[in-house]
Structure 1
Amino acid sequence: MSLLFIGIDPETGDHESPTVWVDQDKREFVFQGWKPGPELEAEAAAFTVPGHAVGIPEGEAVIRIPARMVHMIREACDAVERAVQLP
């Protein structure tokens, strides 16, 4: 795995660290965020989308990322797009 560090939430303290990376080999985003409270997790699990099962599948998780990190997520999108264009 070749992780490209994009950024960490500058407003979190020493014990919290929402972070954005790009897995350059798999061309995927990697996010570290806060675990949601039980109410938000239940709401996400109950959300219905046509063609998809209700619930959060094994091996997947709901996380929270602060909106102030949107510029880091955009940078990660740009990095993935650059990787896709490489031969």
Structure 2
Amino acid sequence: MNIHFVGIDPETDEDGCPTVWVDASTDDLLIQSYEADDDTTETCDKLSPARAPIPPGETVIRIPKRMIPIIRKACDELDPRLR
């Protein structure tokens, strides 16, 4: 694995800290964030184009708006490799 750190929630309290990494070997984003509450997860499940409930091993996560620049930075790092 070739994983590197991209950024952490700028308002982190270093306890609950949404974080973004890039796996350069797979061109995947790795995101640690808050698990969505049950109501949000249920709504996302109902609105999903998939015809099955959210499967085991997957979940809906909530990423704070303030982390959008960090997500963009991670996407920009991966973009040249996807062309």
TM-score relative to the length of structure 1: 0.85
Which residue of structure 1 lines up, in the alignment, with residue 72 of structure 2?
74
Which residue of structure 1 lines up, in the alignment, with residue 60 of structure 2?
62
Which residue of structure 2 lines up, in the alignment, with residue 53 of structure 1?
51
Structure 2 stretches lacking a partner, 5+ long:
none
Which residue of structure 1 lines up, in the alignment, with residue 18 of structure 2?
18
CA deviations on 1:11-60 (whole Å, 9 max, x unpaired) are: 021311100111100111111000111111111111142xx223212221
Structure 1 stretches lacking a partner, 5+ long:
none
Runs of 4+ in 1 over 3 A off after TM superposition: none
More strand by share: 2
Q: Quick one: percent identity of the two aligned structures?
A: 37
Corresponding residue SS for 2:61: coil
Aligned length: 83
CA deviations on 1:65-87 (whole Å, 9 max, x unpaired) are: 101111111111111113335xx
Closer/same/farther in 2, CA of residues 48 and 65 from structure 1, 3 Å limit: closer
TM-score relative to the length of structure 2: 0.89
Amino acid in the other structure paired with 2:72 = R
Which residue of structure 2 lines up, in the alignment, with residue 30 of structure 1?
30
Amino acid in the other structure paired with 1:82 = P
